[in-house]
Amino acid sequence: MIRFETFPELIQWILWFTIPLLLLIGMWAGAVRKRVIRSAGDPELIKQLSHSVSKKKRRIKDIFRFLAIFLILFAVWGPKFSDELTEIHREGVDIVILLDVSNSMRAQDIKPDRLEKARFELRKLLMELRGDRIALVVFAGQAHLQTPLTLDYSAFEMFLDISDETLIGVQGTSFENALEAGLSAFDKEDLQHRAMIVISDGEDHEGNLDQVLNRAKSENVIIHTAGVGSFSGTPIPLYDDRGKLKGYRKTSTGEVVTTRLYTETLQAISMETGGRFVHLNTATASLDEIYNDILGMDQKEFSRHEFTNFKEQYHWFAWLALIFLVLDLLITDLHGTSRNWQGDYIRD
């Protein structure tokens, strides 16, 4: 099989147009040469004067030049040949991300804020994925499946970028609702190869988790957790429609509401299901430890397909073109016979 490198459509047309153009130019040049020779003088005299030129060799040289130009163009098109079929297996696990988008995730104890830190770590995780399917659930007082399990990481990142506190109408933090939504996002026909990552500041306003954690264990879901924030209290900023800071969240009595990282609930969730807890509080902290644990899980096959492994072959055509150009230089268009003077000198 053969195929060519992809060029913009205009360049393809220019390249394909070059070959007939060269043929037309060669034919036109030959016709012009004959017309000039006929108009130069007596045909018999010109024939005698040009007797040493071999038309056959000149034609061969023209063919070599044309072939060299054609092969150079062919090499530029980037020909690829292959008769080798390669089978690709795509394996991994199903990973459901639970991202806390409650108002407290806007606290700026981690710059620029907790939510942006979580997004940043998830983008880094996407670059490390090796064929795993991934889903996104955003939650606050309620939970919403933002992206179902997918291998389209760019689509996941697009939905991640627009995930913030405005997506959930009911504020607060409910791990119970979040875990229920996350468990429902998994493929119901496969009760293996499942992992969940919860990213939150740990503030749980509805603490009934026993039932949902028992469900997670029965469905073989390992839940990892990542805490975002510091242990000291920090105010929750409020922004206007233009994204400018307009103040801080306050109670009905006018006191500024503060938030801190609560690791107790997050650690309990991960410990109960055999997962890992990490604290994303520094520039060096990341989700790498969690993903390394996920890589150690049994992998399942998501897809399998065959494709032809095309290999670059342009260099063969470039070498042939060079050979034809060298032959054109080595071959003379004169007859190989000796040219001796057979006429008489004119004397006074």
Alpha carbons 278 and 267: distance in angstroms, whole number? 9
Structure letter (DSSP) for residue 97: E
What's the pLDDT band for 12 if we cut at 50, 70, 90? low
Beta bridge partners of 197: 97, 224
CB-based contact 82:308 (threshold 8 Å): yes
- Verify cis geometry, omega within 30 degrees of 0, for the bond prior to 112: yes
Higher pLDDT pick, 93 / 38: 93
pLDDT at 308: 61
Domain range summary for the chain, segments of one domain joined by +: 2-83+309-330, 89-304
CA distances from 209 to 176, 216, 217 (A): 6, 11, 12
Flag whether pLDDT at 237 surpasses 60: yes
Between 2-6, 235-239, 271-275, the lowest mean confidence (pLDDT) is in 2-6
pLDDT at 65: 84
Q: Which CATH architecture has domain 89-304?
A: 3-Layer(aba) Sandwich (3.40)
- Average pLDDT taken over every residue of the chain: 81
* pTM (global) more than 0.75: no
The 3-state DSSP class for residue 26 equals helix
